[in-house]
Amino acid sequence: MATRQQKRHNRKQIIFVIALLILAVTVKVFEEWWYFKNARAIRYPEFGIVIPGGYSIHGIDVSRYQQAIDWDEVNAMKVKAIKIGFAFIKATEGTSIIDPNFKRNWNKSKRAGVYRGAYHFFNPNKDGKTQAENFINNVELKQDDMPPVMDIEQINSTSPVQLKTEAKRWLELVERHYGVKPIIYTNVDFYKKYLGSEFDDYPLWAAHYYQPYEPRIDRGWVFWQHSDKGRVNGISSKVDFNVFNGDSVEFKNMLIN
């Protein structure tokens, strides 16, 4: 049977552990508050979302789900210092699918003065070479376009090894064709679980919603998709919002020349 002294000692240990837990939670809450405060994240009613501060170049990404877009209205919209400077546009998917709105969006965004980039939705169950050919055959990149993008966010029924093999095949063929290293788009959890260090040489467009300051990933990133609920003049439905991780000079240097 425990003595009175042992019971007191046990109570002190329990109190100490509880105090540590309370301290850890307090530190975490303070950290989140500090990030939010220093990022100067502001809610813009016109855009319908909170936009993180500290970034000067903002953009969207679109596909057929946004239907017919008035790109002149997109380009004209400006709220304080925030305006849409670039757009990633879905071009292809898998081995044969072409987004029905791609050509329209591709041409009209350019005419409206919005920097444009094209992305391919990668199907892990399909051959990477054939998927690369689908993208290459349908996307002509010109001076001042953004680098090509591989959108990889599903593993489906394939294995991680096969996923990496086919993804690398796509990336290598697309880089060889356009002469520029493609950007990888994915969410931070998928990157950590299925891609990781083998793909760290590629620029990253990270999806991580509702973070106050930056995506939570331990590698460099170029673009950050921070919300999927934005509103923009000229687009009838909700749209994804992104920021570029750099200034205007770095953005220009990233473009195809």
Looking at the structure, do residues 234 and 126 belong to the same domain, yes or no? Answer: yes
pLDDT in tens, the chain (257 residues): 556 666 676 677 778 778 888 887 776 655 555 544 555 678 899 999 999 998 999 999 999 999 999 999 999 999 998 999 999 999 999 999 999 999 999 999 999 999 999 999 999 999 999 999 999 999 999 999 999 999 999 999 899 999 999 999 999 999 999 999 999 999 999 999 999 899 999 999 999 998 888 999 999 999 999 999 999 999 999 999 999 999 999 999 999 99
Looking at the structure, do residues 88 and 189 belong to the same domain, yes or no? Answer: yes
32 is catalytic: no
- Joined together, the tokens standing for residue 56 give 């000067």
CA angle, 153 as apex, 147 and 159 as ends, to 5°? Answer: 120
Looking at the structure, do residues 149 and 63 belong to the same domain, yes or no? Answer: yes
Looking at the structure, do residues 195 and 96 belong to the same domain, yes or no? Answer: yes
Task: Tell me the C-alpha distance between 42 and 153, whole Å.
Answer: 29
- Mind listing the pLDDT tens digit for each residue in 52-73? 998 999 999 999 999 999 999 9
Contact 148, 205 (CB under 8 A): no
Q: Can you give the pLDDT at residue 184?
A: 98
Catalytic residue among 61, 145, 166, 240: 61
Residue 50 lies in a domain: no
> Rounded to two decimals, what is the model's pTM?
0.83
Residue 31 lies in a domain: yes
Residue 15's domain comprises 1-39
Looking at the structure, do residues 22 and 61 belong to the same domain, yes or no? Answer: no
Q: Give the CATH number, domain containing residue 241.
A: 3.20.20.80
Catalytic residue among 70, 72, 73, 153: 153
Residue 47 lies in a domain: no
Looking at the structure, do residues 231 and 164 belong to the same domain, yes or no? Answer: yes
- Mind listing the pLDDT tens digit for each residue in 10-57? 677 778 778 888 887 776 655 555 544 555 678 899 999 999 998 999
201 is catalytic: no
